[in-house]
Amino acid sequence: MKKLFIAAFFILTGLLANAQKRITEDNASEKISISKGLFKQGDDMTWAEPGMDDSSWDEIDVTKCWDQQGFPAYYNSYAWYRIHVKIPKSNTDQQNVIIVKIPKVDDVDECYMNGRLIGSSGSMPSSADGYATGVFAPERYYEAGIKETCIRLGEDNVIAIRAYNRGGSGGMCEDSVHVYFPPAVDGISLRLNDISTGQHHCNVEIVNKYATMTKGELEITLTDRETGAVVKSLSKKVTVKRGKPAVVPVYYDSDKMCNLTATYTDTKFGKVITETKQLKYILTPPDPAAPRFNGAPVFGVRPGSPVIYRFPVSGERPMKITCSDLPEGLDLTENDGVLSGRIVQAGNYTFTVTAENANGKATQEFTLKVGDDMIGQTPPMGWNSWNCWGLTISQEKVIASAQALIDKGLADHGYNYINIDDGWEADVRNPDGSIEANEKFPSMKGLIDWLHDRGLKFGIYSGPGETTCGGYLASLGYEKKDAEKYNEWGVDYLKYDWCSYENERHKNNDWGFSSCIRPYLLMQQFLRQQPRDIFYSLGPLGGTQVHLWGLYCDGNSWRTAPDIEDTWEAVYSVGFRLQEGKSQYSSVGHWNDPDMLVVGKVGWGRGELRETRLTPDEQYTHITLWTLLASNMLIGCDIAKMDDFTLNLLCNNEVNAINQDMLGKQADLVLKDGDIEVWSRPLADGSIAVGIFNVGEKDHLVDLKTYIPSESPAKAVRDVWRQKDLTPDELVCTIPLHGCRYLKVTF
Ligand code: GLA
């Protein structure tokens, strides 16, 4: 009876929606809007089937979360919705697909049309990849093929939504479910695929995802952003078939700052689609062929701990790296410059290292500082798996990035930590309580030995609570065992993340600073008992407060912001706003960490890796700011897929030298003039580094010299990205929106 009533209700709702919500733009079909469905908590895959008997299910309003309708909140499990809908025949020429738009789902969902999966957001705990939240896409547009999903036009069809919730409210909320036929031209999209490897070019791709072939005209313009001149323009007639993108490559000079605009005009509908993209541009000059030392001339180690240090030297290979006055207890490999050994006696050990190849010779006077509080002399540089692989990290992926770190020359520029984040842990501990890696890491010891052999260091991830942020085993109650295991494996870095420790504070109703410090200090005591150095990186608590107490638990770095994303909003909030006034908490060996880098191909393990959403200008700003902030420089992308542009961002020796400056002073915001922010830090050689940023939404013409925060006349103003001293004329320039200029000023 109830079912009959609901079916009638849907048909009526559909008809009403047809009458009221006529979509006029773009030739779209009428939309059916549905706000009521059937609901059941639990999980059974047969509930996706159109023919199953759902007459005993409860009625639910899909525009409100289930806990707002009498179903239990904090129901941390699966629930299903079933929506019966009569789909009328379309009045358009587009009959091969329909769109099912479902509202925000808290927090993971799979959507089935007549029993066929048509889309999902996030990933279910039961899936191979494990649980990953889907809250990032507020609305979900799923496409169902009419034939593939056996849609019966004019009859009852079933949309079944499997939802999973962890924490707080659950289920669909904030809008109705909509079903409609898209117009043919909606299947057309433009993709601008900028390829900065080999001969730089941008592929303009016109893609048609629907069945109807369309024809149109493509116009492309390439504009120089500095001069406004049109560098190239072309126009082409194109036919776009389903599954066969029309591709037009546009070649450009990567030393120019250009915008590419592509406009497609559809012949039949007259619809115009335009996309503009800022193209990648390279500012960093190529490395010279002769050897050049790119690292700070210092490394710190505790007395008796193994030394693992790879000299970062660029230049053509083969190269010989040698030292005639190497202190006793140390060893240096000639072909790749790996320093190893141990020194028991505290003190400063200075020696000269020489690098030589067919093109020349370079030397570096280097000091190994041996002492109790000597590790982390400069902010750590390396890679972390999280921003690209999320919980899908595996040994194979780690090796691929580590090998690429060497092959692509990043190790020659000082990147030397290879850190895995969450997702490596086995489900259960060994009978003796020790932690184990899961099946994705067949040999943790083998992996770490492999890295150490190449002079790279290895970082691992855990937390003081029962579970990590990704729901894996963490260290609560097993801190000593875990520290011992890290030593046995050869771990050099621990990221210790707050996550579920919050539950312990709830349990004990203990909210003071001491409740934060206690678990972190506990782990550090056990780490310190191990006969090796483990850089101690503290995760975020409540977003931004760790810097207030990180030093009391002997941390080497601490997060000063919540998780970053690859958007301007995130870089602006995490990098600019949340770092203001924090330089006082940073010192040599104890760094503020505004989170990992979001340049290159990222993805957090959610589907395919994708190009960062930051524009090239924003990426220059990101790296400029992070180096000024004396931040950890942990690359967050897949290095194996890194292109020339990203390498140019990460391997500028003058830019990196500011991050690694031995004075270790983090920059402060020293001036704000409308949209322009000036951040500056003093450097060990008496000069200052100055970042001049445009954080506004339009370009600004500026005179850089008015933003140099010093009374003394400058002897030289150097553009560190371009690695050249600027003439007085060149100081007047345009800083594009979200862009910056990076200067080193000597007096
Ligand atoms: C937190 C951290 C991230 C990452 C994840 C892993 O969100 O801030 O950097 O380590 O946990 O689950």
**Would the pLDDT of 6 be above 70?**
no
CA 681 from centre of chain: 26
Query: Do 689 and 661 have their domain in common?
Result: no
Domain count for the chain: 5
For residue 91, what pLDDT is reported?
55
How far is residue 156's CA from residue 445's CA, in Å, rounded to a whole number?
58
**Would the pLDDT of 24 be above 50?**
no
CA 252 from centre of chain: 28
CATH code, domain carrying 35? 2.60.120.260
Tens digit of each residue's pLDDT (9 = 90 or more) over 393-404? 999 999 999 999
**Quick check: is 253 catalytic?**
no
Residue ranges of E strands in 74-165: 78-86, 97-102, 104-106, 108-113, 116-121, 140-145, 156-164
For residue 270, what pLDDT is reported?
87
Tens digit of each residue's pLDDT (9 = 90 or more) over 90-105? 655 555 788 999 999 9
Q: Is residue 498 a contact partner of residue 541, using CB atoms and an 8 Å limit?
A: yes
Provide the token pair at 43: 């999980």
Q: Is residue 287 a contact partner of residue 410, using CB atoms and an 8 Å limit?
A: no
Atom of ligand 1 nearest to the CA of 596: 9
Is 305 part of any domain?
A: yes
Is 375 part of any domain?
A: no
Atom of ligand 1 nearest to the CA of 562: 8
**Would the pLDDT of 360 be above 90?**
yes
CA 603 from centre of chain: 6
Query: Which of residues 92 and 464 earns the better pLDDT score?
Result: 464
> What is the number of other CB atoms lying within 10 angstroms of the CB of residue 345?
11
How far is residue 547's CA from residue 19's CA, in Å, rounded to a whole number?
58
Question: In the β-sheet with 633-635, what is the strand arrangement from edge to edge?
Answer: 591-593, 557-559, 535-538, 493-496, 457-462, 417-419, 381-384, 633-635
Q: How far is the CA of 551 from the centre of ligand 1 (A)?
A: 21
How far is residue 545's CA from residue 539's CA, in Å, rounded to a whole number?
10
Query: Do 139 and 271 have their domain in common?
Result: no
Side chain identity, residue 514: S
For residue 8, what pLDDT is reported?
41
- Measured at the CA of 128, the angle between CA 637 and CA 392, to 5 degrees, comes to 15
> What is the number of other CB atoms lying within 10 angstroms of the CB of residue 407?
11
* Element housing 446 (H / E): helix 444-453
Tens digit of each residue's pLDDT (9 = 90 or more) over 560-572? 999 999 999 999 9
Q: Is residue 237 a contact partner of residue 217, using CB atoms and an 8 Å limit?
A: yes
Segment 650-672 mean pLDDT: 98
Nearest CA to ligand 1 atom 11: 469
Exposed e or buried b for every residue in 561-600, given b needs 16+ CB within 10 A? bbbbbbebebbbbbbbebbeebbebbebbbbbbbbbbbbb
Q: How far is the CA of 419 from the centre of ligand 1 (A)?
A: 13
Question: In the β-sheet with 360-370, what is the strand arrangement from edge to edge?
Answer: 298-301, 360-370, 347-357, 320-323
Crossing angle for the helix pair 514-528 and 501-508, nearest 10 degrees?
Answer: 130
Percent of the chain's residues with pLDDT above 90: 81
Ligand 1 pocket mutation, candidates 388, 389, 420, 422, criterion most atoms within 8 A of CB:
422
* Element housing 276 (H / E): strand 272-278
Ligand 1 pocket mutation, candidates 135, 469, 495, criterion most atoms within 8 A of CB:
469
How far is residue 721's CA from residue 700's CA, in Å, rounded to a whole number?
19
- Kindly calculate the radius of gyration of the chain based on its CA atoms and give it in whole angstroms: 29
Looking at the DSSP bridge assignments, the partners of residue 417 are 382, 457
Provide the token pair at 679: 């951040």
Nearest CA to ligand 1 atom 8: 563
Percent of the chain's residues with pLDDT above 70: 94
SS3 273: strand
SS3 676: strand
Half-sphere exposure of 464 (CA within 13 A, CB side): 24
Is 619 part of any domain?
A: yes
How far is residue 116's CA from residue 78's CA, in Å, rounded to a whole number?
18
Tens digit of each residue's pLDDT (9 = 90 or more) over 619-659? 999 999 999 999 999 999 999 999 999 999 999 999 999 99
**Would the pLDDT of 340 be above 50?**
yes
Query: Do 735 and 609 have their domain in common?
Result: no
**Would the pLDDT of 10 be above 70?**
no
**Quick check: is 497 catalytic?**
yes
Q: Is residue 667 a contact partner of residue 690, using CB atoms and an 8 Å limit?
A: no
Query: Do 111 and 256 have their domain in common?
Result: no
**Would the pLDDT of 362 be above 80?**
yes
1, burial (CB in 10 Å: exposed 0-12, middle 13-18, buried 19+): exposed
DSSP 683-744: -TTS-EEEEEEE-SSS-EEEEGGGG---SSPPSEEEETTTTEEPPGGGGEEEE-TT-EEEEE
How far is residue 690's CA from residue 627's CA, in Å, rounded to a whole number?
11
Q: Is residue 634 a contact partner of residue 383, using CB atoms and an 8 Å limit?
A: yes
Q: Is residue 171 a contact partner of residue 66, using CB atoms and an 8 Å limit?
A: yes
Nearest CA to ligand 1 atom 3: 563
Is 204 part of any domain?
A: yes
Tens digit of each residue's pLDDT (9 = 90 or more) over 466-501? 999 999 999 999 999 999 999 999 999 999 999 999
Residue among 67, 106, 194, 497 flagged as catalytic:
497
Query: Do 95 and 206 have their domain in common?
Result: no
Query: Do 535 and 679 have their domain in common?
Result: no
CATH code, domain carrying 736? 2.60.40.1180
Provide the token pair at 59: 């009625």
Ligand 1 first shell, C-beta below 6 A: 386, 421-422, 468-470, 497, 539-540, 563
Nearest CA to ligand 1 atom 1: 469
Segment 532-557 mean pLDDT: 89
**Would the pLDDT of 13 be above 50?**
no
Domain C-terminal end among 165, 182, 199: 182
Provide the token pair at 303: 């007395």
**Averaged confidence pLDDT in the chain:** 92
Segment 334-353 mean pLDDT: 98
Segment 414-432 mean pLDDT: 98
Q: How far is the CA of 37 from the centre of ligand 1 (A)?
A: 36
For residue 19, what pLDDT is reported?
29
CATH code, domain carrying 229? 2.60.40.10
For residue 29, what pLDDT is reported?
61
CATH code, domain carrying 610? 3.20.20.70
Domain C-terminal end among 666, 694, 725: 666
Q: How far is the CA of 648 from the centre of ligand 1 (A)?
A: 27
Q: Domain residues for 524? A: 381-666
Is 284 part of any domain?
A: no
SS3 403: helix
For residue 437, what pLDDT is reported?
98
Q: How far is the CA of 474 from the centre of ligand 1 (A)?
A: 13
Tens digit of each residue's pLDDT (9 = 90 or more) over 682-717? 999 999 999 999 999 999 999 999 999 998 999 999
Atom of ligand 1 nearest to the CA of 495: 10
Query: Do 200 and 305 have their domain in common?
Result: no
Tens digit of each residue's pLDDT (9 = 90 or more) over 161-207? 999 998 888 999 989 999 988 877 778 899 999 999 999 999 999 99
Is 283 part of any domain?
A: no
Ligand 1 pocket mutation, candidates 129, 133, 462, 497, criterion most atoms within 8 A of CB:
497
Crossing angle for the helix pair 479-489 and 514-528, nearest 10 degrees?
Answer: 40
Query: Do 705 and 598 have their domain in common?
Result: no
Q: Is residue 173 a contact partner of residue 82, using CB atoms and an 8 Å limit?
A: no
Domain C-terminal end among 148, 182, 216: 182
Provide the token pair at 728: 């007085």
Looking at the DSSP bridge assignments, the partners of residue 520 are none
For residue 95, what pLDDT is reported?
58
Provide the token pair at 209: 């995802």
Is 350 part of any domain?
A: yes
Segment 520-524 mean pLDDT: 97
pTM: 0.82
Segment 289-307 mean pLDDT: 98
Query: Do 500 and 630 have their domain in common?
Result: yes
Per DSSP, 88 falls in state: P
Query: Do 417 and 527 have their domain in common?
Result: yes
Segment 73-99 mean pLDDT: 82
Residue entry with tokens 């809008």: 175
Per DSSP, 377 falls in state: S
Query: Do 202 and 159 have their domain in common?
Result: no
Q: How far is the CA of 494 from the centre of ligand 1 (A)?
A: 13
Tens digit of each residue's pLDDT (9 = 90 or more) over 604-621? 999 999 999 999 999 999
Nearest CA to ligand 1 atom 5: 469
> What is the number of other CB atoms lying within 10 angstroms of the CB of residue 701?
8
Query: Do 654 and 682 have their domain in common?
Result: no
Half-sphere exposure of 660 (CA within 13 A, CB side): 22
**Would the pLDDT of 17 be above 70?**
no
- Measured at the CA of 340, the angle between CA 480 and CA 327, to 5 degrees, comes to 120
Is 353 part of any domain?
A: yes
Q: Is residue 601 a contact partner of residue 651, using CB atoms and an 8 Å limit?
A: no
- Which residue from 570, 568, 636, 625 is spatially nearest to 592, judged by alpha carbons? 625
Please provide the distance, in angstroms rounded to a whole number, between the alpha carbons at the two ends of the chain.
87
